[in-house]
Amino acid sequence: MPHPFLTWLLAFALALLVHSSPVATDSDANQVPLSVSDSRRVYEYHNGELPPTENTDGWIDPRLNGGRFIDFTTRRLGEPLNIIISALSDPYVLEESGFLDYSKSIGFAGECMGLHYGNIHDADLGDGLGRKPEHMLIRQHYPIIGTCWESVRGGHHFRAWRQNGTLANSGAWFIGASKEKDSSKNHQIDKDGYNVGRDYFVEHATAGSHWQGKWWKAEVEWREGLMPRGRRGINHGIPVDGRVAILKINRL
């Protein structure tokens, strides 16, 4: 029989499934939404963003086909796609089941009791599939009741999309990582939470990890110019440094 305290914790975590990370509206204070022309990708590059990059190995710049490195959380605000898992990585990691195993190896897991909560984000990866919903939402796994505790305490999480349309069938994973506050703060993104969430993922990936007899270690390449710096178009008005981590995950 489970310990009564753990039973109480689990019940409390399940009660929080009715809550979600709040989605800012376009009129929220401190927001700098994209203009209509911005959302159609016909604006001048600004704040460190450079023209689309061609001939990249293991991934294709979404902007070549009208996509972008900011997802769609509201009509004109989004969150940064700040990590790419290159298709040059271990093929096992590029498959859904393998990617879930890899996520476990670096301290993440699927949502509490397999139940999805929170807002569904869309992203346009320029692969011909237009704006598509997140493929998965993965949360930090704590020793106490796993990802259910993340719902209470807050922590790291990420959304992932696979670039697999006919216009850009690279097979790479595009990830939006962030760190959120605890439930008492209504799961708002933490201060500098987008940069911090990305760096947490990269730190664990490059340190090396293992899961059920499989071992990995990632190499990282940092890219600037794929998205603008600052808070223009960013949900919650939290600025980003504009850097994207491109990871090649090697099987050891």
pLDDT in tens, 34-66: 544 444 455 568 899 999 999 999 999 999 999
Indicate if the pLDDT at residue 26 is higher than 80. Answer: no
Task: Inform me whether the pLDDT recorded for 239 exceeds 70.
Answer: yes
- Does some domain include residue 108? yes
- What integer pLDDT is reported at residue 111 of this predicted model? 55
Q: Is residue 179 part of a domain?
A: yes
Q: Among 16-30, 33-47, 118-132, 176-190, where is mean pLDDT lowest? A: 16-30
Is residue 112 in a domain?
yes
Counted domains in the chain: 1
Query: Could you report the per-residue pLDDT of 105-135, keeping only the tens digit for each?
Result: 999 986 564 445 567 899 999 999 999 999 9
pLDDT of 7: 46
Asked if the model's pLDDT at residue 19 lies above 50, the reply is no
Q: Please report whether residue 25 resides in a domain.
A: no
> 32: pLDDT confidence band, cut at 50, 70 and 90?
low
- Distance from C-alpha of 199 to C-alpha of 34, rounded to nearest angstrom: 26
**Could you tell me if residue 89 is inside a domain?**
yes
Q: Could you tell me which residue, 90 or 115, shows the higher pLDDT?
A: 90
**Is residue 21, in this structure, part of any structural domain at all?**
no
Q: Averaged over 161-167, what is the pLDDT?
A: 97
What's the average model confidence in pLDDT over 152-174? 91
Asked, for residue 23, whether it belongs to a domain, the answer is no
Indicate the pLDDT class of residue 18, thresholds 50, 70 and 90: very low
Whether residue 22 lies inside any domain: the answer is: no
Q: What pLDDT is stored for residue 43 in this prediction? A: 52
Query: What is the pLDDT at residue 201?
Result: 98
Range of the structural domain that residue 172 is part of:
4-16+30-251
| Mean pLDDT of all residues in 145-160 | 69
- Per-residue pLDDT at 185: 46
